[in-house]
Structure 1
Amino acid sequence: MNKALFFINGEEPSKIPQNINEYSLIACTDGAYSRYVYKFQLKIDFISGDFDSLIQEQVPQGITLISTPDQNKTDFHKALELLVERRITQVDVYGATGRESDHFIGNLSTALYFKNKLKITFYDDYSKFFFSNHKTHLTNVKGKIISLIPFFKAENIQTQGLQYPLNNEPLCLPERIGTRNKAIDECVTIEYSNGELLIYISNS
């Protein structure tokens, strides 16, 4: 099992995953730990960052602190490098949205950069979203909002199970994006040939 749970310093999630045992590693940035992660009853494997916002008194013994002072990369980018070094292949990320929107945009850019090394899924209180493979199957999504957002272009998109289907059609910023579609079936299939596609799924 090479799946990690990772927290960064955005909006504090109102709840965390219940299936903690499916993660082989749990970690966070220093800002996330000081703001909210310290309140959770979790066994944290490491905290990374430049530690400019870490309250040392909050950190119990046994948690590894990894200094990543390089200011040319974000704390999220440097943390993902650490996860790749530990042979993690999947990451569920909480705290990527909210608060400072420029950080959120940067987090998306970082996720795209690591797409071929890590399967990164972002979660918040309202949705989950991820950069998709060229063919993606979604389950248990009937009635949920499904948005397809190209970065910056995705070609020959085909969908099944959406209210407004696409049939070998392109999406491209800024001309046309596929926001606010809706799943009409429990299972949805999305395929495309070239480019990059961010898939957003509402919680309800």
Structure 2
Amino acid sequence: MLIKGWFLFGIKNSFFNFPNKIFYLRGLTAILKAIFDKINIKFPQRHFIPILKTNGLRPIFWNYLCCYKFFVIHKKTTVLELRNNRYLFIGHFFKLLIRFRLAVPFPLALICKSLYLFQKRKLSLKNKLVLIFANGEPTQKKWVKSYLAGTPLIVAADGGANHLIHLGISPDFIVGDLDSVTADTLNHYPNAKTVLREDQNFTDLEKTLQFCLERETSEIIVFNATGGRADHALANLGLLQTFSRVVDISFVDNNFTIRIIRSAVVLETQPGQILSLIAIQPVSGITVQGVEFPLQNAELEWGGRGVSNSVTETQVSIQIGRGELFLFLKHSDAV
């Protein structure tokens, strides 16, 4: 009767209501975990469900992905097939349910309602600084701590949350398809809100940036976006260029603060800092003052010119007539 009630609830409130559909499936996966727990089926924890309590929303998100792994191992299908065909996923689920002929008390109606309300409730980030932690090479805390004043919002892009433990920073949100964040990290941050976004056409960092833009944030600082794999770093710099058109955004790594320049700007600097200007496309009308090798109404193209100039003043002024530049300013203590 319990299972029948749950299924009827899903038919009435979920399958004919698109926003609830995926939440209904997440609730079902949580029931599946409870069933496995009750009949004492043992699977290697590294391949299946980590030890998490079957209450709250975070375990449901996690178990949803872990059940994918179960069907990949035991049903000879693929994660991609399951992601693209949720009816296949629910079919597997009910086959197991009928086979075991078991029911366990689990508040699916409450879960679906809570997930739906959480999805509908959008946090406004107007005039709020947001710090995003990607899953690239970790940025040292000494380059992060100056941005922590004023209680900014902390958002981790999936596995970026794993790096926050060592920094002693708690995320407000963890965004992505949740295939990189570990169970230990999720347990370590019980108050972090998990935002599952599964679309594989976008990277986790891109999903996280979009999440912030949907909430009208005004300024974003991204850490851990460069270093490590060159392909990831280059792709992330492409995101910097794209999103800089709609929001004030900078990248910070262990060496540089990186931003896009499209118009005149004055930088607060210290003598000896390294400044690099790299043209994204042919750029004209560039004037740079306050550096060892100043420019006057110059032109730059993609290439080496503009790299590794030395700052000589406490302010550097940059004017640009046409085009876009990557600006790399080395941290003063890293010179």
What TM-score, normalized to structure 1?
0.93
1:38 aligns with 2:165: yes
The equivalent residue for 1:92 is 221
Shift of 1:133: 3.7
Shift of 1:185: 0.8
Gaps of 5+ in 2: 1-126
Deviating 4+ runs (over 6 angstroms): none
What code does the residue aligned with 1:28 have?
Answer: A
The equivalent residue for 1:178 is 306
17-26 or 77-86: bigger deviation = 17-26
Aligned-partner Cα distance in 2 for 1:120–1:25: 14
The equivalent residue for 2:183 is 56
Q: Deviations over 1:76-126 (max 9, x none)?
A: 111111111111121111101111110000000011111121211111121
Shift of 1:19: 4.2
Aligned-CA RMSD value? 1.5
Checking the alignment, whether the CA contact within 8 Å between 1:89 and 1:118 is kept in structure 2 is yes
What code does the residue aligned with 2:209 have?
Answer: L
Q: How many residues align?
A: 202
Aligned-partner Cα distance in 2 for 1:188–1:99: 30
Q: Which has the higher strand share?
A: 1
Aligned-partner Cα distance in 1 for 2:270–2:217: 27
Checking the alignment, whether the CA contact within 8 Å between 1:12 and 1:95 is kept in structure 2 is yes
The equivalent residue for 2:145 is 17
Gaps of 5+ in 1: none
Checking the alignment, whether the CA contact within 8 Å between 1:141 and 1:188 is kept in structure 2 is no
Aligned-partner Cα distance in 1 for 2:276–2:288: 12
The equivalent residue for 1:122 is 251
Higher relative contact order (CA 8 A, sep 6+): 1
Partner SS for 2:159: helix
Aligned-partner Cα distance in 2 for 1:187–1:102: 33
Aligned-partner Cα distance in 2 for 1:22–1:86: 19
Shift of 1:12: 1.1
Shift of 1:42: 2.3
Aligned-partner Cα distance in 2 for 1:191–1:98: 29
The equivalent residue for 1:102 is 231
Q: 1:145 aligns with which of 274, 278, 284?
A: 274
The equivalent residue for 1:200 is 328
Partner SS for 2:137: coil
Identity %: 29
What code does the residue aligned with 2:320 have?
Answer: Y
Aligned-partner Cα distance in 1 for 2:151–2:265: 22
Look at both structures and tell me which one has the larger radius of gyration over its CA atoms. Answer: 2
Aligned-partner Cα distance in 1 for 2:235–2:174: 20
Aligned-partner Cα distance in 1 for 2:137–2:306: 26
Q: 1:169 aligns with which of 281, 298, 302?
A: 298
Aligned-partner Cα distance in 2 for 1:6–1:112: 16
Shift of 1:13: 1.6
Aligned-partner Cα distance in 1 for 2:312–2:166: 39
Partner SS for 1:12: coil
Aligned-partner Cα distance in 2 for 1:19–1:72: 31
Shift of 1:47: 0.5
